[in-house]
Amino acid sequence: YDKRFGIVRVDYDTQERTPKDSYRWYREMIAAHRG
* Cβ contact 8:23 at 8 Å: yes
Distance from chain centroid for Cα 30: 14
Say whether pLDDT at 4 is over 90: no
CB neighbour class for 3 (10 Å; exposed up to 12, middle 13-18, buried from 19): exposed
What per-residue confidence (pLDDT) applies to 1? Answer: 58
**Which residue did the predictor score with more confidence, 9 or 3?**
9
Q: How many CB atoms lie within 10 A of CB 11?
A: 9
Task: Give this prediction's pTM.
Answer: 0.59
Which pLDDT band holds residue 2 (cuts at 50, 70, 90)?
A: confident
pLDDT (tens digit per residue) in 5-35: 899 999 999 999 999 999 999 999 999 998 6
Contacts 24+ apart (CB under 8 A), 23-32: none
